[in-house]
Amino acid sequence: MQRSKKPEWQTDIAKERIEILFGLAKKEFKKHPDRSKRYVGLARKIGLRYNVRLSKEMKKEFCKNCNTLLVLGKTSKKTEDRKNRITIIKCLNCNNIYRHPCR
């Protein structure tokens, strides 16, 4: 049996809520980093439930392992491998490594 697709108005509301939650996560990061993690986790859950993809910029802003916002110097470390043309971002909470191609 095939599952039905969610109505378009529900996916639009889900996209708005995801943007709001990411905004709140960035705003609350300095005072309450745990609350910021919670907002990122909720945004990801909403995206999964309503089948809404996050933009590339949003995906690069948080750690997929621990839901922490990746702020350079505080929760992440950035290095560049010029030989292989790769940007390496390391989460300082869970030591997870992300590699993105450099142009």
Helix (H) / strand (E) element for 80: namely strand 76-81
What is the per-residue pLDDT for 61? 93
Q: Structurally, how many domains does the chain consist of?
A: 1
- pLDDT tens-place string over residues 48-89: 999 999 999 999 999 999 999 999 999 999 999 989 999 999
CATH value at residue 81:
1.20.5.420
- Look at residue 3 and tell me if it is in a domain: no
pLDDT of the residue at 15: 96
Q: How far apart are alpha carbons 65 and 74 in whole angstroms? A: 17
Is residue 30 domain-resident?
yes
Domain carrying residue 21: 8-101
Let me know if residue 69 belongs to a domain. Answer: yes
Whole-prediction pTM: 0.86
Rounded Cα gap, residues 11 and 13, in angstroms: 5
Q: Which residues, in sequence order, are CB contacts of 18 under 8 Å at separation 6+? A: 43, 46, 47, 52, 54, 58
The band of 10, judged by pLDDT with boundaries at 50, 70 and 90, is: very high
18: pLDDT strictly greater than 80: yes
- pLDDT reported for residue 19: 96
Average pLDDT, the chain: 93
Assign 28 a pLDDT band (cuts: 50, 70, 90). very high
